[in-house]
Amino acid sequence: ALDADRLARFKREAEVLASLNHPNIAAIYGLEDIGGSQFLVLELVEGETLAQKLKAGPLPINEALAVARRVADACQAAHEKAIVHRDLKPANIAFTKDEQVKVLDFGLAKALAPDGVSATADANSPTLSLAATRAGVILGTAAYMSPEQAKGREADKRSDVWSFGAVLYEMLTGKRAFEGEDLSDTLANVL
């Protein structure tokens, strides 16, 4: 809140994310400031996540394909607005009480330039990150991140497609596509 540049970027990203108006994306209703603290007002999705649902095992193929279609539609809508999610995973896919699919948590989302490449490599992004090397930053969840993310390189639309494939694999098999004993093993398996 005290860094004007970072706050301006947070506000710009909030406005870009608020432009996502799609039935399969949890809505962002506004950016509020109370007592100097900035926060986003998001749609409350009261229901089970895909991660919770997968604890019971793989989904029947027809159900998995129906969920996948809605997630793909949500990603396409974001990509058409030049936004890449960068953290697509079962915990960020939820079902409303009437079983509507909602993609959640665009907290690591990145606005892209019109050519589909990351608009900036700003180290002041308001998202959480784990420094991988001096040259790059790892963002996302290891088991679902694309190889370029695992290497700390810029993510683009293809990164979401990779993550989507990992989620679809898990829906169909009931197990993660990339697992490991720990974080480094998982990243090695992704690579």
Catalytic residues: 87
Q: Is 91 exposed, middle or buried (0-12, 13-18, 19+ CB in 10 A)?
A: middle
In the block, residue with structure tokens 């974001």: 78
- CA separation for the pair 167, 143 (Å, rounded): 10
Q: Is the distance from CB of 87 to CB of 144 less than 8 angstroms?
A: yes
